[in-house]
Amino acid sequence: MPKVSEEHLEARREQILEGARRAFARHGYEGATVGRLEEEIGLSRGAIFNYYPDKWSLFYELASRDQHELTTLLMEQGLDATIRHLTTESPEWMAVYFEVLRILRRDPDRMEEFLARGGEGREEEVKAWIHGLHESGEFRDDVTLEDITAFVNVVANGIALLTSLGLPLEADALVKLVHQGIDPPK
Amino acid sequence: MPKVSEEHLEARREQILEGARRAFARHGYEGATVGRLEEEIGLSRGAIFNYYPDKWSLFYELASRDQHELTTLLMEQGLDATIRHLTTESPEWMAVYFEVLRILRRDPDRMEEFLARGGEGREEEVKAWIHGLHESGEFRDDVTLEDITAFVNVVANGIALLTSLGLPLEADALVKLVHQGIDPPK
Sort out which chain A residues have CB atoms less than 8 A from B161's CB and list them.
98, 157-158, 161
Query: Global pTM?
Result: 0.86
Distance, in Å, from the CA atom of B67 to the CA atom of B42, rounded to the nearest integer, reads 26
Residue in A154, A185, A186 closest to B174 by CB? A154
Contact in structure between A65 and A18 (CB atoms under 8 Å): no
Q: What is the pLDDT of residue A167?
A: 85
Residue in B156, B166, B174 closest to A150 by CB? B174
Sort out which chain B residues have CB atoms less than 8 A from A105's CB and list them.
91, 95, 164-166
The model's pLDDT over A6-54, given as tens digits with 9 standing for 90+, comes to 888 999 999 999 999 999 999 999 999 999 999 999 999 999 999 999 9
Q: Residue B77: how many CB atoms within 10 A of its CB?
A: 12
Ranking A135-139, A178-182, B68-72, B169-173 by mean pLDDT, the lowest is: A178-182
Distance, in Å, from the CA atom of A109 to the CA atom of B165, rounded to the nearest integer, reads 13
Residue in B151, B173, B185 closest to A173 by CB? B151
At A139, the pLDDT band (50, 70, 90 cuts) reads confident
Most A CBs within 10 Å: which of B109, B139, B151, B178, as the mutation test of the A interface?
B151
Q: What percent of chain A has pLDDT over 70?
A: 96
Q: What is the pLDDT of residue B56?
A: 95
Sort out which chain A residues have CB atoms less than 8 A from B99's CB and list them.
102
pLDDT exceeds 70 at position B3: no
Number of separate helices (H) and strands (E) present in chain A: 9, 0
Please give the domain boundaries of chain A with CATH numbers for all domains: 1-53 (1.10.10.60), 61-182 (1.10.357.10)
Amino acid at the residue A96: V
Side-chain-side CA neighbours of B36 within 13 Å: the count stands at 15
For A175, the closest chain B residue by CA position comes to B151
Q: What percent of chain A has pLDDT over 90?
A: 53
Whether chain A has a CB inside 8 Å of the CB on B168: the answer is: no
